[in-house]
Amino acid sequence: MQRVREQLKISSLGEEDGSGITAAVLDTGIGQHPDLAGRLIRFQDFVGRRIQMYDDNGHGTHVCGILCGNGSLSQGKYMGVAPGIRLVVGKVLDEKGDGSTESMLKGLEWVLRIREQCRIRILNISVGIGTLDEAGKEKQLREMIERVWDSGVLVICAAGNKGPEPGSISAVGGSNKAVTVGCHDGSYALDSPGRCETYSGRGVEGAAFRKPDLVAPGTDIVSCNVHYYRLRGKFRNAYVAKSGTSMATPIVSGAAALALQKFPQMTNAECKQKLQYTATDLHLPWNQQGWGMVNVERLLRVDF
C-alpha cells in the first residue's frame, strides 16, 4: 500500500482521512486484525448466520485493509487509503470465496435497510460475478444495485477478472448507476505477464457509456492478512499481497471517501462524475481504461 499511496500521491494530501464517512463492504466478511480495530460498526452474515464478525477466506479483510487499515502493525507502511472510515460489513461469500445471487441480493437489501441509520455513503463490491446463466437473476441483481444507488449510496464495483475480451465486465458492474473499477498499475510491473490489466474485465466497444468507469492499481497490493498470528510477543504474517480488480476497487472507494469528506454536500452522482473527470488519461481504449487512472490529488481540488 505504500507504493499505491505514493503512486496516487495520497501521502502528500491534506487532513482528509475519510472520517465521518461510512462505507459498506459486501464480501467474505472481516476478521479481527489490529489495523482494523475500531472501524466496524455493523456486521451481518448471510452465509453461515453467525453473529460475531469473522472471515474464513481472507478476501474481505484484505479489501477492508486497502480501504481503511490504519497500518499500525507496519508503522504506517501498509496504511489504507482512508483510515478514518467507519465500516459496515456483510458476509455474502463463503470460505472459498463463492456466493449465490440470493446472498448478494440479501446483502444489498440489508444495506438499503440500514443505510440511514448507519449513514452509509459508499458501497464497495469487490466481487466479480461473470455473466449469469439466468438472465432474470442478472436483471434482478442489477435492479437492486440501482435501487441502492438511487437511495443516495455511491456504489463502486469491481470490473472482474474475466478479461481482456470485450464485454467481459462483471454482471454487478455493468450498470450505469455504479462506478466500475478496472485494473491498471501504470509503470509498475510493466513487463510482468501476470499484471492485473492483462485480465481486467473490459466493456463493450462502442457502448453508449464507458465501462469500466476508471482504473486503479491492483497488482501485488499488500494489505491485512486474516491469518496472522503472534509468536514471542510479535505479530507474524500480518500482511499479504493479492492482485485483481478486487484490490483496485477499494482504492477507488477510499478515494471517494476522501472526496465526500472534503465535499460533504456532493451527491453520489456528482462524486462519480468527479472521479471520472479528474482521472488521468492513459491513452488506452475506452473499454479498457474508461476515463483513466484514478487521480486523488486532482479529485480533492476545490477548483477542478
Q: At 288, give phi and psi (nearest 5°).
A: -105, -45
Model confidence at 10: pLDDT above 70: yes
303 catalytic residue (yes or no): no
Any idea which of 135-139, 215-219, 273-277 has the lowest mean pLDDT?
135-139
Residue 50, domain member (yes or no): yes
Of 126, 200, 246, 253, catalytic: 246
Place 3 in a pLDDT band, splitting at 50, 70 and 90: confident
Tens of pLDDT, residue by residue over 153-197, are: 999 999 999 999 999 998 888 889 999 999 999 888 788 888 999
Residue 236, domain member (yes or no): yes
pTM beyond 0.85: the answer is yes
Residue 34, domain member (yes or no): yes
Give the chain's domain count.
1
Q: Tell me how far CA of residue 278 lies from CA of 112, 194, 253, in angstroms.
A: 29, 28, 15
What value does the mean pLDDT of the chain take? 92
Tens of pLDDT, residue by residue over 95-135, are: 999 888 899 999 999 999 999 999 999 999 998 765 555 56
Of 27, 55, 185, 213, catalytic: 27
Q: What is the share, in percent, of the chain residues with pLDDT greater than 90? A: 78
Q: Tell me how far CA of residue 269 lies from CA of 2, 38, 266, in angstroms.
A: 30, 29, 8
The candidate with the shortest Cα–Cα distance to 156, out of 19, 2, 275, 291, is 275
Q: What is the pLDDT of residue 77?
A: 94
pLDDT higher for 3 or 25?
Answer: 25
Q: What is the pLDDT of residue 235?
A: 83
Tens of pLDDT, residue by residue over 186-245, are: 888 788 888 999 999 999 988 778 899 999 999 999 999 999 988 877 888 999 999 999
Q: What is the pLDDT of residue 1?
A: 74
Structural domain that includes position 194: 2-299
150 catalytic residue (yes or no): no
Q: At 100, give phi and psi (nearest 5°).
A: -110, 160
For residue 158, the one-letter residue type is A
| CATH, residue 45 | 3.40.50.200
Strand, coil or helix: what is 172? helix
126 catalytic residue (yes or no): no
Place 255 in a pLDDT band, splitting at 50, 70 and 90: very high
Residue 164, domain member (yes or no): yes
Residue 304, domain member (yes or no): no
Of 33, 59, 62, 184, catalytic: 59
Residue 131, domain member (yes or no): yes
